Structure 1
Amino acid sequence: MDKRGSRRKRAARNERARRAAADRPQSRFRMWMRRAFIWGGALALLGALFLGLAVAFSARSMPSYYQLKATQNAQTIIVRARDGSEIVALGPSYGKWLSSNEIPQVMKDAMISVEDRRYYSHFGIDPYGLVRAVYEAVTGDERISATSTITQQLARNVFLNSNRSLDRKLREAVLAMALEARFSKEQILELYLNKVYFGGGAYGIDSASRKFFSHPATELSTAEAAIIAGLVKAPSRYSPTADVDAAVGRASVVLRLMKEQGRIPADVTVDPSTVNLKEEKGQNSVRYFTDWALPQLELLLPETYEPIEVWTTLDVGMQRAATAAIKSNTPDGAQGALVSLDRDGAVLAMIGGTDYVETSYNRATDAMRQPGSSWKLFVYLAALEAGYKPDDRVVDTPVTIEGWTPRNSNGRNVGEIDLRTAFAYSINTVAAQLGNEVGFGTVASMARRFGITTEISTYPSMVLGSNEVRLLDMTRAFAAISDKGHSVEPYGIIKVTTGEGRVLYEHERRRQSQLVPDYVAAGITDLLQTAVNTGTGRAAQIGRPTAGKTGTTSSNKDGYFVGFSSGVTTGVWMGRDDNSRVGGLQGGTAPARAFAAYMRYAVKNRPVEEFDTDLQLPEWQLEPDDEYMLGDPDDYYFIDEQGNLIEPGRPTDERGDPFGEGPVRPEDGQRPRQPPALPQRGADGGPQAIGDDFLDEATGADRDRRARPAPQQTPIPPRR
């Protein structure tokens, strides 16, 4: 009995121990859950307390409603031409302040529908929208999404900047809740609609209504309100003066949201495309220039909101002449662009299209189009640097390079001609042979050297201008030739001052580098002058020395002319935006005529300058041909009459053997001395026509500073 009792007690103890062991993990989990709940609740309570204190402090220190009404945060910019005259005033334009009961209800409904559908139900931040934004930030593009409420947008516009950062979003949320605590919903909406930016310098709905529809905001229709509400997301993209279709499309989205949210009846039809927009006759081609130049202020100036005056390089008279030249010469249905540079790189005139109001796209600085034969500038520069001279004889004959067979525009070949004539008449087969001889990589390197910033492919047809470039870059390259081979950096801002005259920035000309030797610059100028005098660019003649090059792409899709005279370099492009054919368009027709029309005005007050085309060749080009081919003992390895390889500068005995070593001949069973390895290829993978040492000596440039490919072959012998 005692034994059975003992066994039962032991079994009961074991069972209790087993149950305790089984319950231990569950008890431990419950214990950690309780701790997490307690600590989480404490932290949440502490965070809520901190947030409440931050909101209360912000609300208490926030300006009054009337102070906020009087505060307008925006910068006025006066843009001046090179003579100091005002060419355009940019910056804020404020209409009449409208109280809440003066603002049309349809305007309020449109804005709330598209920007903050839960405006009347949240407390400054939208928890649903915030959760969605954080989710997208974690799973998407790693940024806080643009899901700000109207109150948050007002806080940002009044108190903060537009940087997309977590810190800014947190401060924005605190200030939004402070605004909600301080002001009513109607007051916040009134502040917002009178302060928000709608593009084109218009702040507030009244300014926007007057700018786009020529009437005050109190008269806004439903369609007009939808257009204005749609601008907030991207004022420049959806501006009805820049892109009517984009503005109408965005307004249609706003109207759809208004119907979905019950703010306008579902059966009501509103067509925003029928809205009458204000004609902006005051806008002109100057805006192409200001759109290019003014964004540079962000890099040139410290952050400032005070009014500033920007003194630019633009010449008002030249800008008018450029506008007239492009409008009167551009074929119907096509677009035209023009850039004109002074010898120091100052932009004198810039036309980005035939009508800025119709399209603000700047084809002079942004469009990438094929330059056609104007690209041959770089082919012939490489050839001249390699040893060719304008009088050298070349052969216009059918040629095939790596399966590519170029043809001349007239379909004929004329045989042997000089280099000058081949360039003047833009003979494709000769350019192809030259490019193949000096190396396509060398041509690409030359283009890079002269400021071409777009991608350059080195397949054979590149010599005829198949790479896409910007007109500004091509004009810059020709300007460097005009300045005898010195680098040119385009710029548009001379100085920036405050309204009181204090200088905030002043342009300093960068140190120039010589891109090619003087004789190369003189040689290419000779060729460019001949192209205008007797070649394809005859329509560009202006009654004084002028140099330039035409360019026409296949099927007449692009017409190019770039040239210079009296220190002014001008590039002209014409074509269609959709890259379709333009009947009769050639670089030597409309673009050359526009160039001439503009340049006659541009240089009328400048002295006539004759071009320096006198070739002062280096000694290595002046040597007799036999010495050049065999080499000068002081400069090259060469082969003597017995077939020996002689090192440079080494004395030889009467037998022609180097002193101290005896003969070095293949028949003695010894390997002849080998010349040093040919230099390596450059960054483009192609050979360079001449050596860095010679080029550095000729130009005075430092090798590391030049950033150009090393030579792969010895200089090409000059042609008789």
Structure 2
Amino acid sequence: MARRDSTGRGGAPKRPRRTPTRPRKATAPARRGSSGPGLFERVLRFLLFGLIVRVLWWLGLRTAVIGGIILGGATLWAYAQLPEAEALLDGRERGSVTLLDREGNTFAWRGQQYVTTRAETASPHLVNAVIATEDRRFHDHFGLDPIGIARAMAANLRAGRVVQGGSTITQQVAKLLFFENTRSLERHIKQVPYVLAMEAKYTKEEILSIYLNRAYLGAGAQGFEAAAQRYFGKSARNVTPAEAAMLAGLLKAPSRYAPTSDIEAAQGRAEVIIGLMEEQGYLSRVDAELARALPAQLSDAASARAGGYFADWVMSAGPSFLTNQTSEDVVLRTTFDPRLQRAAETALAEIFSTKVREGSKAQAAIVVMSPDGAVRAMVGGRNTGAAQAGQFNRATQALRQPGSAFKPFVYAAGLMAGMHPLDMVVDSPITLNVPGSGPWSPQNYTREYLGEITLTEAFRESINTVAVKVSEQVGRTRVRAIAQDLGIERPLADGPSLALGVSEATLLELTGAYAGILNQGQRSMPYGVIDLRLKGDNTVLMGTDRQAPIPVLDPEAAGMLVYMMSEVIANGTGQRAQLPDRPAAGKTGTTQAARDAWFIGFTGDYVAGVWMGYDDNTPLSGVTGGGLPAEIWRETMLRVHEGLPPTPLPMVVPEVPGTRLPDMGDDPVAGNILQQVIGGIFGASGLY
């Protein structure tokens, strides 16, 4: 029988439901007293912390005291070492050379230019520009500027690179005076006592004056006075806000921002400085806008940048202790003529821009001089406007074969030996036996032979066979002697090829030798120095480097040679050099494989020489001395003679008909007899 639950219903009785209980957490026995660290522990910690603080304070205080004593001692030592401010203004290792042209005007500078200036007398615009650029709190700090350092660090962090320095002007002066070659970190540590000593010993104006005189500002200018005169032709007392800003802008990078190198970069940097001056209250808005609208410009002398090659050459003319290594400031008066220099430079640029293919690496050089050897202009290579001190000078340093430009010395020897411009000669093949080399047969440029012609025609057409015959007949010794006496100082060849210009010479040497021909046969050595004096002193320390003229050719022989050279331009290989309003004389020259092309000639007033070729001896393409060199010469002389009346050439026009001197190939017996006669008279032997 089924059980009933308590409710009287059938079924198994239900168990009572239990509510689940969570296990109780074990609780730590309660501590007596406070719930935090014990009193003893707190006291111990406090005592330990205090002890550490006291130790650190003790160490810091004593370190500071010791550091202060060391710094103070170092500052006192530096103070005692510092000379008077006046002695620190000029810090150059050597002096300067100011070069004057033939009219007494400055055209170039060498060495470290320097003229004293002071903060009190310099233009206020210049002082303000320097302070605004380099140290805006200059008058408010003690040589070290924590605010400036913090500002620079913040600017550099924002930019992610170094864009601003925190050095004060005093620190920069210390660097210029004592630590210029010291590493940055070491310098910053070592310069602290010097900075403090300078601030203690010198006034702010004296520190600024040292800076204004010591700073290098490009183009050899040491200090702001020298820079103002170098770039603007005026004193630092008189510079405008725009000029002051350009000068101050040079402090960041003198070579990069030198206006003689890149005037646009210099003006852009100056505009930044003008903005700083306006921002700091040194310029009103109107003055700042005016300075931006009218940026600084170079003086005429500085912008011309003429005579760089000439200046380098003439600096080597005197003793180094008075020129390149001078410890004084000297003034060098020269023969340089800026008008003629511009004539040569523009002529060269004109020909290369109109008649030479773009991108050509061909080079050229020009020398212009007076008949007495006074060098008036010199172009040592293309792009002469950018010529800087020390560049390779192709007019004075390049040794090249003159080719047929050497022939005037051969014919001069012939004329001195009694030959006549109208003597008849025969242009025909010739073979000479050269000891050690065997047979040698010179050929004409055209590979053709003209037969019976006059000596003048042979010279006019630059006939090689006749030149060799003349040289062999009068003797190579006589040819070499005349060339050397006229100014070719290099060793000359011994063999028969001497007559064809295989010996090397410079353009300056050749042009000077031609000047001797124009100068009635008297040697005219090139010279460029008139005198040298100390700056501000009229005492001549060194006179001219001109050498006294030496008779080499008799006037009649020289006059006949001038006539023959005039025929080269009038009717011969140099016709492209003809001038429209005056007579001229000259000679072309082209070396083997056309590695060098020359034209050298003169009027009654000036001598000019032109060389053209490649620096690496690559042959010229389609160029001979009668081509582009003759055209460069013509363009140069057209400009050189602008406004000058024509001057006649000192030539002797031959009037007596010549007699035929037979060629050996036509009449060997007559040739041998004539050779023996001339050899007996002149001590020479050879073939004619």
TM-score range with shorter-chain normalisation?
Answer: 0.5 to 0.7
> Is the counterpart of residue 535 in structure 1 residue 556 in structure 2?
no
Deviation at 1:379, TM superposition (A): 1.5
Deviation at 1:62, TM superposition (A): 5.9
Quickly say closer, same or farther: Cα 1:590–1:474, change in 2 above 3 A: same
- One-letter amino acid of the structure 2 residue matched with residue 441 of structure 1: T
Partner of 1:201: 220
Separation in structure 2 between the aligned mates of residue 218 and residue 199 of structure 1, nearest angstrom: 7
- One-letter amino acid of the structure 1 residue matched with residue 113 of structure 2: P
SS in 1 for 2:384: coil
In structure 1, list runs of 5 or more residues that go unmatched: 1-57, 125-150, 152-178, 229-238, 242-278, 618-628, 632-636, 639-687, 692-712
Q: 1:666-685 residue pairs with structure 2 within 5 A? A: none
Deviation at 1:424, TM superposition (A): 0.2
- One-letter amino acid of the structure 1 residue matched with residue 368 of structure 2: S
Quickly say closer, same or farther: Cα 1:65–1:689, change in 2 above 3 A: farther
> Is the counterpart of residue 612 in structure 1 residue 667 in structure 2?
no
Partner of 1:524: 561
Separation in structure 1 between the aligned mates of residue 80 and residue 562 of structure 2, nearest angstrom: 70
Task: Return the match for 1:356 from 384, 402, 415.
Answer: 384
> Is the counterpart of residue 370 in structure 1 residue 401 in structure 2?
yes
Partner of 2:83: 64
Deviation at 1:70, TM superposition (A): 2.3
Quickly say closer, same or farther: Cα 1:610–1:516, change in 2 above 3 A: closer
Quickly say closer, same or farther: Cα 1:567–1:240, change in 2 above 3 A: closer
Partner of 1:410: 446
Q: Is the 8 A contact 2:561 2:651 kept in 1?
A: no
Partner of 2:462: 426
Task: Return the match for 1:714 from 679, 683, 688.
Answer: 683
Quickly say closer, same or farther: Cα 1:388–1:312, change in 2 above 3 A: same
Q: 1:171-320 residue pairs with structure 2 within 5 A? A: 195=214, 200-203=219-222, 282=303, 284-298=305-319, 307-320=329-342
Partner of 1:84: 104
SS in 1 for 2:499: helix
Quickly say closer, same or farther: Cα 1:493–1:429, change in 2 above 3 A: same
SS in 2 for 1:410: coil
SS in 1 for 2:611: strand
Partner of 1:561: 599
Quickly say closer, same or farther: Cα 1:463–1:589, change in 2 above 3 A: same
Separation in structure 1 between the aligned mates of residue 309 and residue 526 of structure 2, nearest angstrom: 15
Quickly say closer, same or farther: Cα 1:63–1:295, change in 2 above 3 A: farther
RMSD: 5.1
Q: How many residues align structurally?
A: 472
In structure 2, list runs of 5 or more residues that go unmatched: 1-76, 116-125, 136-142, 149-163, 203-207, 232-245, 263-297, 657-671
Q: Is the 8 A contact 2:400 2:596 kept in 1?
A: yes
TM-score, normalised by the number of residues in structure 1: 0.55
SS in 1 for 2:566: helix
Q: Is the 8 A contact 2:429 2:449 kept in 1?
A: yes
- 1:16-64 deviation per Cα after TM superposition (whole angstroms, max 9, x unaligned): xxxxxxxxxxxxxxxxxxxxxxxxxxxxxxxxxxxxxxxxxx9999652
Deviation at 1:295, TM superposition (A): 3.8
Separation in structure 1 between the aligned mates of residue 349 and residue 185 of structure 2, nearest angstrom: 50
Separation in structure 2 between the aligned mates of residue 557 and residue 105 of structure 1, nearest angstrom: 58
Q: Is the 8 A contact 2:507 2:609 kept in 1?
A: yes
- Bigger Cα Rg: 2
Deviation at 1:65, TM superposition (A): 6.8
Separation in structure 1 between the aligned mates of residue 250 and residue 577 of structure 2, nearest angstrom: 55
Q: Is the 8 A contact 2:469 2:687 kept in 1?
A: no
Deviation at 1:714, TM superposition (A): 2.8
Quickly say closer, same or farther: Cα 1:306–1:424, change in 2 above 3 A: same
Partner of 1:6: none
Quickly say closer, same or farther: Cα 1:380–1:343, change in 2 above 3 A: same
Quickly say closer, same or farther: Cα 1:484–1:392, change in 2 above 3 A: same
Deviation at 1:436, TM superposition (A): 2.7
- One-letter amino acid of the structure 2 residue matched with residue 417 of structure 1: I
Q: Is the 8 A contact 1:566 1:606 kept in 2?
A: no
Q: Is the 8 A contact 2:400 2:505 kept in 1?
A: yes
SS in 2 for 1:322: helix
SS in 2 for 1:596: helix
- 1:157-185 deviation per Cα after TM superposition (whole angstroms, max 9, x unaligned): xxxxxxxxxxxxxxxxxxxxxx99x999x
Q: Is the 8 A contact 2:576 2:634 kept in 1?
A: yes
Quickly say closer, same or farther: Cα 1:449–1:296, change in 2 above 3 A: closer
- One-letter amino acid of the structure 2 residue matched with residue 547 of structure 1: A
Deviation at 1:82, TM superposition (A): 1.7
Separation in structure 1 between the aligned mates of residue 601 and residue 680 of structure 2, nearest angstrom: 27
Quickly say closer, same or farther: Cα 1:69–1:335, change in 2 above 3 A: same
Q: Is the 8 A contact 1:484 1:521 kept in 2?
A: yes
Q: Is the 8 A contact 2:309 2:379 kept in 1?
A: yes
Partner of 2:349: 327
Q: 1:385-464 residue pairs with structure 2 within 5 A? A: 385-401=416-432, 402=434, 403-464=439-500
Quickly say closer, same or farther: Cα 1:113–1:423, change in 2 above 3 A: farther
- One-letter amino acid of the structure 2 residue matched with residue 364 of structure 1: A
Percent identity of the aligned residues? 30
Quickly say closer, same or farther: Cα 1:62–1:566, change in 2 above 3 A: farther
- One-letter amino acid of the structure 1 residue matched with residue 650 of structure 2: F
- 1:554-590 deviation per Cα after TM superposition (whole angstroms, max 9, x unaligned): 2322221111111311111112222212322211111
Quickly say closer, same or farther: Cα 1:67–1:82, change in 2 above 3 A: closer
Deviation at 1:420, TM superposition (A): 0.6
- 1:136-165 deviation per Cα after TM superposition (whole angstroms, max 9, x unaligned): xxxxxxxxxxxxxxx9xxxxxxxxxxxxxx
Separation in structure 2 between the aligned mates of residue 370 and residue 61 of structure 1, nearest angstrom: 65
Deviation at 1:93, TM superposition (A): 6.3
Q: Is the 8 A contact 2:406 2:501 kept in 1?
A: yes
Separation in structure 2 between the aligned mates of residue 598 and residue 68 of structure 1, nearest angstrom: 50
Deviation at 1:357, TM superposition (A): 5.4
- One-letter amino acid of the structure 2 residue matched with residue 284 of structure 1: R
Separation in structure 2 between the aligned mates of residue 380 and residue 448 of structure 1, nearest angstrom: 14
